[in-house]
Structure 1
Amino acid sequence: MGGLGIPKTRPWWWYLGPGFLVSVGYMDPGNWATSLEAGSRFGYSLLFVVTLSSAMAILFQALAAKLGVASGLDLAQHLRLRYPGAWGRFLFLTALVAMVATDLAEFMGMAVALNLLLGLPMVLAAWLTVLDVFMVLYLERFGFRAVEAAITALVGVVGLAYVVELYLAHPPLTGLLRHAFLPDPTLLDPGGLYVALGILGATVMPHNLFLHSAQVKTRLGGDRARVYRYLLLDTVLALTGAWLVNGAILVVAAAVFHEKGLVIHDLAEAYHTLAPLLGPLAALAFGVGLLASGLSSTTTGTLAAQVVVEGFLGSRASPGRLRLLVRLAAVLPASLALTLGASPMALIVLSQVILSFQLPFTLFPLVRLTQDPKVMGPFRNPPWLRLLAWVSALLVLFLNLFLLVKG
């Protein structure tokens, strides 16, 4: 038997799950809005940016998974041990604020979907999202695999929704591969560059890194090099799926809206515009996919908050109480803002600004930890990976700062 009582001879598919759990963070409502605007404004020209951002996501999530496998500790636990004083408390505070901001963006997408599909008032829809906290607690009674299976099923719903959208939109296949893998001159246009920066700058979110480094610990046991190979496969498969979904969102927006000269700025506008252009099935598929995206991403957001609190404090917390507090910390101010007339997209943008400020305090320690031989041992990043990780981290930081200054 290996660590945690797991046999060494588990089949490769047993290790799949953590990557799919975090992949929903790359298909969340905020990413939907960005891809919709990119496709409706610039057609297929920015499809390459979706590919590049997905490659960066795979890199950082692979580093987070490797940290958990190599050390048996998640990112939050490492930060508590490495920074035990005031700096550690500051990192904990920034991470906790980021978890609340993440939850705000995710549940707002779910609330928009409930509003569109059922006609519920936005404030009521926002409060109904609290119920998903109890859904996760119920699923966890059956083990971590049950939660992962539920999230994977929701990811499948999102993917199926966009299979329907692609079928109805009939985008031209010629040229899609070129746009997906080669940069387009549109990137040199100021407007195109700004939207491209929006896609890239919002790619990596702190909660995914914390959650992934913790979730891989459920797979430890036996040969850790073998475990990591399978978890790396899990990460690549899951985030490739996220790339396909985000690419499909942009392609559908280009085929449907750009061809008609329509520019889409928010999720509700896309929903209401799809019906007269492609029929009610297209709008329904969009709404159901958005609901699945919001439900799955807000679920992983509350799971990540538990990882952060327990890792930094070094003690177990009541899962139900903690997740409910995180959700209430996001729902209460959001409800007040909606009542006062704020738009859901404005709240999502605000959450992204908060995450932009916090991102360096998560990303840079992760890169440093994964190149530390005392932490990683034989799993330490080789020189080429260290260079790639630092360049990518600095690029993400620059893009977020650029967007904050220009926004």
Structure 2
Amino acid sequence: MSLTSYRPGPAMLVTAAFIGPGTVTACASAGIGFGYGLLWALVFATLSTIILQNMAARVAIVTGQGLAEAILAAASSPPVRWATAALIFAALGIGNSAYQAGNISGTGLGLALLGIGDDLVSPPLRALATGAVAAALVIVGKPGWLEKLLIALVLAMALAFIGGLIVIDVDWSAAAAGLVPSLPADSLFTAIALIGTTVVPYNLFLHAASVRGQFSPDGEGIAAASMDTAISVTLGGILSMAVVIMGAATSAMAAASGSPLEDIALRLEELFGPPARIVFALGLVGAGFSSSLTAPLATGYVLAEMLGGSGDPARRTRIFKRTALAVIAIGTAFAVLAVNPVELILIAQSANGLLLPILAAFLLWVASRRESLGSFANGFVANLAGGLVVLVCTLLGLRLILRAAGVWP
């Protein structure tokens, strides 16, 4: 496949998933707090995501299995297999329910910034409406149709966030300097958060499920899937950088509300007029709603792979839809009860971040097995790159655990 013949494919779901309210929050905070100085962290995160998502897609294309199936099939004994299945299910079920709450809350906050129902509709009602629409799409939507909808939402986000750069003044020389790795004072935790909100564990399962049957299990199919991943994830990285740049462009102003998302929207409006606030809010709505679909879809795919059986498509479909609807219901309930949506979004990031190093290690192991992948198994360079990503993910997970225990502030 040549670049000129490229059409958006399954990897766009990855971008739709990781450009959610958590990413927008982290990027807005980074830009407001540290200007352009942490753009390099998003470059690293984007490259890491491409490496891991390529492995997940390759495993699925060559083996014909979802990632959960491939991991369980590679487990050496029934006790290991059951323990692995329980870990995957518990972590994705709990983590994605938390993420879903943040996604729904972020969508509602974006609608509020647009002024939609701000005077007539309370945040809990906005959360209920968002959850209801997401549930309806899961019930009646077909996989191919949902994929097209998510691709459209990604393109809408691109128009909003990249379009926002057109209406603001950007110091491009300072932005270029931010691509050189450095850590401004007190920026370590923010840099780690930028990486953690981009390399999202459940995207590995979502991507593997979505590529099955769409690419041929040969060199040409693998190359086409790799190009799809590289283009889609790079677009997501550019969107994240656009939000950092928006925050940096307004960083000299005093905080407006204490919420990074509201701060950046109000600062943009004060500096560059209502159009700047509107495009940012539209991007936030697209980010929240696209992720409101991908989190339950990923959880549904995983549970259907583990419990659905290989010869009963109807059973798999039932498990998939019931699981996805359960995640939406739990996330909506949490969003309705939440006092501060930004805090909920950050808690969701931490919950799923704990799973990241474990899944990255599992993926590296499965992608290196010549018994199942043959000549498409990881070589030395792929293992070296994957090992570096696993190391960084492990440090990220350790930091989250220590922070939760109060050992690391």
Q: Which residue of 2 aligns with 1:343?
A: 340
Answer yes or no: is the 8 Å Cα contact 1:15–1:230 preserved in 2: no
Please state how far the C-alpha of 1:345 moved relative to its aligned partner.
1.3
Please state how far the C-alpha of 1:320 moved relative to its aligned partner.
3.7
Q: 2:53 and 2:93 mapped to 1: Cα distance?
A: 20
Change in Cα spacing, 1:215 to 1:12, as seen in structure 2 (3 Å) is farther
Answer yes or no: is the 8 Å Cα contact 1:40–1:262 preserved in 2: no
Of residues 366-375 and 71-80 in structure 1, the stretch that sits farther from structure 2 once superposed is 71-80
Change in Cα spacing, 1:353 to 1:179, as seen in structure 2 (3 Å) is closer
1:231 matches 2:232: no
Instruction: Write the deviation string for residues 151-191 of structure 1: whole angstroms up to 9, x where unpaired.
Output: 111111111112331111121222433322x223xx052x1
Answer yes or no: is the 8 Å Cα contact 2:255–2:263 preserved in 1: no
Q: 1:71 and 1:11 mapped to 2: Cα distance?
A: 26
Q: Which residue of 1 aligns with 2:237?
A: 243
Answer yes or no: is the 8 Å Cα contact 1:113–1:287 preserved in 2: yes
Please state how far the C-alpha of 1:382 moved relative to its aligned partner.
0.4
Could you tell me which runs of 5 or more consecutive residues in structure 2 were left unpaired when the two chains were aligned.
310-315
Please state how far the C-alpha of 1:74 moved relative to its aligned partner.
1.1
Please state how far the C-alpha of 1:13 moved relative to its aligned partner.
5.0
For 1:155-170, what aligned pairs fall within 5 Å after superposition?
Answer: 155-170=154-169
> Of the candidates 212, 222, 230, which is equivalent to residue 217 of structure 1?
212
Q: 1:230 and 1:240 mapped to 2: Cα distance?
A: 15
Could you tell me which runs of 5 or more consecutive residues in structure 1 were left unpaired when the two chains were aligned.
1-8
3-state SS, counterpart of residue 219 of structure 1: coil
For 1:74-223, what aligned pairs fall within 5 Å after superposition?
Answer: 74-83=66-75, 84-85=78-79, 86-91=82-87, 92-117=89-114, 118=116, 119=118, 120-130=121-131, 131-140=133-142, 144-180=143-179, 182-184=180-182, 187=183, 189=185, 191-221=186-216
Answer yes or no: is the 8 Å Cα contact 1:29–1:109 preserved in 2: yes
Change in Cα spacing, 1:276 to 1:14, as seen in structure 2 (3 Å) is closer
Please state how far the C-alpha of 1:245 moved relative to its aligned partner.
0.6
TM-score (norm 2): 0.88
Please state how far the C-alpha of 1:314 moved relative to its aligned partner.
3.2
Q: 2:107 and 2:378 mapped to 1: Cα distance?
A: 38
Answer yes or no: is the 8 Å Cα contact 1:134–1:320 preserved in 2: no
Please state how far the C-alpha of 1:147 moved relative to its aligned partner.
2.1
Please state how far the C-alpha of 1:235 moved relative to its aligned partner.
0.5
Q: 1:251 and 1:320 mapped to 2: Cα distance?
A: 39
For 1:11-22, what aligned pairs fall within 5 Å after superposition?
Answer: 13=5, 16-22=8-14
> Of the candidates 259, 279, 292, which is equivalent to residue 298 of structure 1?
292
1:382 matches 2:375: no
Of residues 10-19 and 209-218 in structure 1, the stretch that sits farther from structure 2 once superposed is 10-19
Paired amino acid for 1:375? S
TM-score (norm 1): 0.88
Paired amino acid for 2:107? M
Answer yes or no: is the 8 Å Cα contact 2:357–2:397 preserved in 1: no
Instruction: Write the deviation string for residues 85-110 of structure 1: whole angstroms up to 9, x where unpaired.
Output: 43134222223222322322222211
Q: Which residue of 2 aligns with 1:334?
A: 335
CA RMSD of aligned residues (A): 2.3
3-state SS, counterpart of residue 183 of structure 1: coil
> Of the candidates 268, 278, 281, which is equivalent to residue 284 of structure 1?
278
1:369 matches 2:371: no
Of residues 284-293 and 16-25 in structure 1, the stretch that sits farther from structure 2 once superposed is 16-25
Q: Which residue of 1 aligns with 2:312?
A: none
Q: 1:125 and 1:328 mapped to 2: Cα distance?
A: 14
Instruction: Write the deviation string for residues 175-217 of structure 1: whole angstroms up to 9, x where unpaired.
Output: 433322x223xx052x122211221233321210001011110
Q: 1:246 and 1:326 mapped to 2: Cα distance?
A: 26
Please state how far the C-alpha of 1:15 moved relative to its aligned partner.
7.0
Paired amino acid for 1:277? L
Please state how far the C-alpha of 1:399 moved relative to its aligned partner.
1.9
3-state SS, counterpart of residue 306 of structure 1: helix
Q: 1:108 and 1:13 mapped to 2: Cα distance?
A: 38
Q: 2:392 and 2:175 mapped to 1: Cα distance?
A: 26
Answer yes or no: is the 8 Å Cα contact 2:35–2:247 preserved in 1: yes
Please state how far the C-alpha of 1:343 moved relative to its aligned partner.
0.7
Please state how far the C-alpha of 1:12 moved relative to its aligned partner.
8.9
Please state how far the C-alpha of 1:27 moved relative to its aligned partner.
1.4
For 1:53-64, what aligned pairs fall within 5 Å after superposition?
Answer: 53-64=45-56
Percent of residue pairs identical: 26
Paired amino acid for 1:138? V
Answer yes or no: is the 8 Å Cα contact 1:23–1:238 preserved in 2: yes
Q: 1:54 and 1:87 mapped to 2: Cα distance?
A: 31
Q: 1:14 and 1:73 mapped to 2: Cα distance?
A: 25
